[in-house]
Amino acid sequence: MRNLIPPPATDEAFAHEQELPWQRLDKRMLLVHPVTEVVRVAPALVVSLIIGSQHDDYRWTLLGLLIVVSHAILRWFTTSYRFGPVHIELRTGVFRKQRLSVPRSRIRSVEAKASFLHRVLGLAVVHIGTGSHAHHEHPFELNALDAKLVPKVRAALLTKDAVPQESTRAPADRRGTEIAHFSLAWVRYAPFSLTGVVAVGTIAGVIFQNGLGQRIADSAFLTGVFGAARSFGLVAMLACLLVALLVFASALACVRYVLSYGRLTVIDDGTVLHVSHGLLTTRQTSLDSSRLRGTTLAQPLLLRLAGGARLDAIMTGVRVHEHGSSLLLPSAPRAEAIRVSGTVTGTRTQDDVRLVHHGPAATRRRYVRALSPVAMAAAGLAIASRYVQMPSYAWWALAAATLTAIAVAWDRARGLGHAVLPGWLITQTGSLDRKRHTLQSSGIIGWTVRQTYFQRRAGLATVIAATPAGKGRYEVVDIPAERAWQLVDAVTPGAGDIWLVPRH
C-alpha cells in the first residue's frame, strides 16, 4: 500500500499518473461478496430448492449457487483502483468492463459504511461523492477496504494536498469540536414518521407473496381474536385493529431509529464536517466545509406537531435525493436542530429570526388553492343530487374535507415567509411537508423571477435562487411582485439593478 496516497499534483505528476500501479481491494472481500450475493438471490434459490425437492433433483439449485458464488469471487480479480495526484480511477466488471475516472477537484464527500459482516471482518465500504449525475448510475465505490485505511483515504481525498504515507496506520485523530450527539430521548420522534408504516407494509407484502397470509388468518390465535372482537361490534374491531397497527408500526419505527442513528455524532474539525451513526450498520460521512452552502430544516406535519425536525446540509455536489450523504440530524427536537443549523452556518442559533410575511394576497392564494378542489367536489355532488339520492355520508365527507382544506391553507399561510440576513437567505414554505432553507448568498449563481397567469392577476411572483448545491433551486414563493427584485438585490447586491431601474 505504499502508493495508496501519491504526492501533490504537479505537471510532472500529471504526466506520469498513468504509470502508477493499480491497487486491489482487501482479500477479505472474498468472504463478504459471496455471502451478500447468496442472500440477495436467496428467494430464487429457495424456489429452485422446493421445485428440486419434488423431483429429487438438486443439480439446478447447486449450479445456480455455484454461478452466484463464482461471480462474487471474480469481482475481486476484476476490481482495482488507484489514487493519482490529478484523478482517482476505478476499474470494475466481470463480463462488462468499466473504467471510471474522476478529477480530484470533483470530490465533494467521502462516506464510509460498514454492515455487521464488514465490521466483523474489519472492512468498510467507501463511497466517494462527486456531484455528477453520471456517477449516480456508476458510483465510485470501494467495497471493501481495510477499515484502518479509511481515515487516511478520507483525509487524502478531502484535502488539496495529499501527503504520501509509507505506513498503513491512520493519521493522528483530529477530534475537532463536537456539534451534536445522539440522545435516547430523541427516539420519541420516530413514531411520527412513516418508516414504521412502510416497514409494516413491507412485512405484509413478504407474507402474502410467500402464501402465508391465509395461514396466519386461519391461525387459532387470530381466529380467537376476531371472534372476541365481533362481540364488541365492527367499529370497535376496526378501532382495535387500527390501534394495534399504530403500536406495532411505532415499535418498528423506534427500533429502526435506534439501529440507524444510534451513537450519532457531528464533529467539525475546522475544514471537514464528520457525521457518523449506526449500531449494526455504521455510516461515516465526511463533508468538505468549504462546499457547505446552507441547511434545510425539514418539518413534516406530524413531526412538527410533536415539536421535532430533521436537519440536512446543503452541499455543493450533494444532490437532494442523497439524503444519507447530507444528513446532519435525524428526527430530533426542533430547538436542537435550529441550534445545530446556526452553529454550522454561523447564523443565529436561536429561533429568533422573524420571517417576512408575504401579505394578504399570498394568504388568499393559499385558501383559493386549498378550497378549489373542495368547491369542485361540492358542485359535482350538488349536480348529482338533482338526479340521484346522495347518501348522507357523502355530505359529511365533504364537510370534513372543507375543514381540512381550511386548516391546511391556514397553516401554509402561517408558515410562508422569508428573511435576509447578512450573507444568507432564509425561505420557508409548506404545511404537510414544511421546509426551511438557509442558503448562503455567495453560493447563488443566478436568479429567476417567475409569474404565472394567476400570480400576475394577484400581483405576486416567485423568486428562484439557482445554486449548484442541494436541489439546485430554492424558491421564495408568492412574494409581492414589486418586492421581487428588491429581494434579489438585498441578497446579492447589484444582481437586480437593471430590473429596478424604471424602463420606458
pLDDT in tens, 66-123: 777 787 788 888 888 888 888 888 888 888 888 888 888 778 778 888 888 888 888 8
Q: Which residue has the higher pLDDT, 59 or 370?
A: 370
248 confidence band (pLDDT: 50, 70, 90) = confident
Q: Categorize the per-residue pLDDT at 165 as very low, low, confident or very high, splitting at 50, 70 and 90.
A: very low
465, part of any domain: yes
* Domain at 483, CATH number: 2.30.29.30
Which range, 153-157, 247-251, 354-358, 475-479, has the best average confidence (pLDDT)?
475-479
- Please tell me the least confidently modeled range out of 42-46, 187-191, 270-274, 427-431: 42-46
Where is pLDDT greater, at 369 or 469? 369
With a pLDDT cut of 90, the percent of the chain lying above it is 34
Dihedral class, residue 107 (left if φ above 0, else alpha if ψ from -120 to 50, else beta): beta
Instruction: Report if residue 13 sits inside a domain.
Output: no
Mean pLDDT of 393-401: 91
Q: Which domain-ending residue is among 261, 295, 313?
A: 261
- Find the mean pLDDT for residues 315-332: 74
CA dihedral 290, 108, 29, 43 (to 10 degrees): 120
Cell digits for 259?
Answer: 439501529
Burial class (CB in 10 A: 0-12, 13-18, 19+), 379: exposed
- Number of compact structural domains in the chain: 2
Pick the residue with more confidence: 104 or 331? 331
pLDDT at site 66: 78
Q: What is the pTM of this model?
A: 0.76
Given a contact cutoff of 8 angstroms between Cβ atoms, the answer to whether 251 and 196 are in contact is yes
Q: DSSP string covering 104-144, please?
A: GGG--EEEEEE-HHHHHHTEEEEEEE---SHHHHS-EEEEE
Please give the average per-residue pLDDT across 225-241, as a whole number: 68
Q: State whether 364 and 494 are in the same domain.
A: yes
What does the mean pLDDT of the chain come to?
Answer: 80
Q: Are residues 373 and 496 in the same domain?
A: yes
In a domain, 425, yes or no: yes
Reply yes or no: is the peptide bond before residue 377 cis, omega within 30 of 0: no
Asked if residue 448 is part of any domain, the answer here is yes
| pLDDT for the residue numbered 285 | 87
Q: Which of 266, 272, 7, 45 has its CA nearest to residue 154?
A: 272
Q: What is the pLDDT of residue 5?
A: 46
First vs last Cα of the chain: how many Å apart? 70
| Per-residue pLDDT at 409 exceeds 50 | yes
What is the rounded distance in angstroms from the CA atom of residue 441 to the CA atom of residue 277? Answer: 31
- pLDDT beyond 80 at 318: no
Determine the pLDDT at residue 504.
47
- pLDDT at site 475: 95
pLDDT for 187? 94
Residue 383 lies in a domain: yes
Which triple of cell numbers denotes residue 403? 375543514
- Confidence check: pLDDT of 128 > 90: no
Q: How confident is the model at residue 398 (pLDDT cuts 50, 70, 90)?
A: very high
Q: For 67-95, b where at least 16 C-beta lie within 10 A, e where not — what string?
A: ebeeebeebbeebbbbbbbbbbbbebeee
- Please tell me whether residues 369 and 492 are part of one structural domain: yes
7/348: higher pLDDT: 348
Q: Are residues 369 and 479 in the same domain?
A: yes
pLDDT of residue 205: 59
CA triplet 495, 499, 504: central angle to 5 degrees? 155
The answer to whether residue 238 sits within a structural domain is: yes
User: In this predicted model, what pLDDT tens digit does every residue of 186-229 receive, in sequence order?
Assistant: 999 998 887 655 665 665 555 555 555 555 555 565 666 666 66
Residue 255 belongs to domain spanning: 185-261
445 is a domain residue: yes
Other C-beta atoms closer than 10 Å to the C-beta of 176 total: 15
Boundary of a domain, candidates 242, 261, 280 = 261
Q: pLDDT grade, residue 488 (50/70/90)?
A: very high
Average pLDDT of span 3-32: 69
Question: What pLDDT shows up at residue 161?
Answer: 45
pLDDT on residue 321: 53
Residue that finishes a domain, picked among 237, 261, 285: 261
pLDDT per position as a tens digit, 374-385: 999 999 988 888
Q: Does 400 reside within a domain? A: yes
Higher pLDDT, 371 or 160: 371
